[in-house]
């Protein structure tokens, strides 16, 4: 496919920038390797951070639904491949959830810059929670940005894909809160819990597991707000 040169942050309707990257599932070339597929490319601030871990579990649990819709999920952060692998293994070990999609190791941040995933007002070193929904013609169809502190609603991203695909198929638009079929998904007590800021020293990390929180690991502990 044609090489795309981007001079600013890509916007809805633009052709997504081309890139090659190393991922947890081998090297990829975008968009060539994804020809004919939808892609949800999403960035997260860093591996081994609590909010990102909950998001990855959320995406992994919905991966089969994305696949049914011919969507390939791709994660990205400015971390190296060994960190990604260790994190993916840690998630599997602690929660039993396997991450079934590739995560780009954007060590030098070049892809993050290409897609405008670095927002200096929020952080100049880690990517914000960006989501790019890209169609089979490599056109950017939707963009979402979330700050570091708020985890994304993975079901909303699936709903967005449904809305775009439905609009394409039937030449219609979808109203607020539209869903393709009445949803059985419900929010539970678990969804009301918040994340305790992770410890930043070895000493505090060791202590964290004894502090009475609900912990999956030292960096991911939750509590209920009173």
Partner 1 sequence: MTGTYARKNFRKRLTMSNGCVTPDGRLSDRALMLLKLLKERGKLTDTDIAELTQRPLFQVRSSLRELTNAGFLKQDGNYYLLTEKAEEAILQT
Which active-site residues does the annotation give? Answer: 52
From its phi and psi, is residue 73 left (phi > 0), alpha (psi between -120 and 50) or beta? Answer: beta
Q: Is 27 one of the binding residues for partner 1 (CB under 8 A)?
A: yes
Alpha-carbon separation of residue 226 from 150, 192, 208, 213, 222 (angstroms): 19, 11, 20, 13, 13
* Closest to 81 in 3D by CA, of 116, 112, 49, 108: 108
Number of residues that bind partner 1 (CB under 8 A): 15
Q: Is 162 one of the binding residues for partner 1 (CB under 8 A)?
A: no
Residues 167-226 that bind partner 1 (CB under 8 A): none
Residue closer to partner 1 (CB basis): 28 or 52:
28
As a whole number of angstroms, the distance between CA 159 and CA 43 comes to: 19
Are 10 and 139 a contacting pair, CB within 8 Å? Answer: no
Contact letters (x/-) for partner 1, 48-87, by CB under 8 A?
------------------------x--------x------
Half-sphere exposure of 207 toward its Cβ, with a 13 Å CA cutoff? 7
**Identified binder of partner 1 from the candidate list 25, 89, 167, 172, rule CB under 8 A:** 25
Q: Is 133 one of the binding residues for partner 1 (CB under 8 A)?
A: no
Q: Is 102 one of the binding residues for partner 1 (CB under 8 A)?
A: yes
Q: Which stretch binds partner 1 (CB under 8 A): 18-26, 54-62, 122-130, 140-148?
A: 18-26
Are 71 and 104 a contacting pair, CB within 8 Å? Answer: no
**Identified binder of partner 1 from the candidate list 3, 5, 8, 26, rule CB under 8 A:** 26
* Closest to 131 in 3D by CA, of 110, 104, 154: 154
Residue closer to partner 1 (CB basis): 27 or 147:
27
Q: Is 22 one of the binding residues for partner 1 (CB under 8 A)?
A: yes
Q: Which residues bind partner 1 (CB under 8 A)?
A: 22-23, 25-29, 32-35, 37, 72, 81, 102
């Amino acid at each position: 496919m044609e090489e795309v040169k981007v001079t600013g942050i890509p916007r809805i309707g633009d052709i997504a920038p081309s890139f090659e990257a190393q991922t947890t599932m081998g090297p990829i070339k975008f968009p060539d390797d994804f020809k004919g597929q939808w892609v949800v490319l999403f960035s997260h601030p860093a591996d081994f951070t609590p909010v990102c871990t909950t998001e990855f579990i959320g995406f992994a649990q919905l991966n089969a639904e994305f696949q049914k819709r011919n969507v390939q999920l791709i994660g990205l952060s400015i971390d190296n491949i060994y960190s990604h692998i260790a994190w993916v293994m840690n998630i599997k070990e602690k929660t039993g959830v396997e991450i079934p999609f590739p995560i780009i190791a954007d060590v030098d941040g070049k892809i993050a810059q290409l897609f405008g995933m670095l927002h200096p007002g929020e952080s100049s070193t880690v990517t914000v929670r960006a989501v790019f929904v890209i169609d089979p013609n490599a056109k950017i169809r939707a963009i979402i940005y979330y700050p570091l502190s708020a985890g994304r609603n993975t079901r909303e991203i699936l709903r967005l894909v449904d809305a775009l695909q439905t609009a394409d198929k039937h030449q219609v638009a979808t109203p607020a809160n539209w869903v393709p079929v009445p949803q059985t998904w419900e929010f539970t007590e678990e969804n009301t819990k918040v994340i305790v800021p992770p410890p930043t020293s070895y000493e505090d990390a060791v202590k964290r597991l004894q502090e009475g929180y609900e912990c999956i690991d030292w960096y991911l502990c939750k509590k209920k707000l009173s």
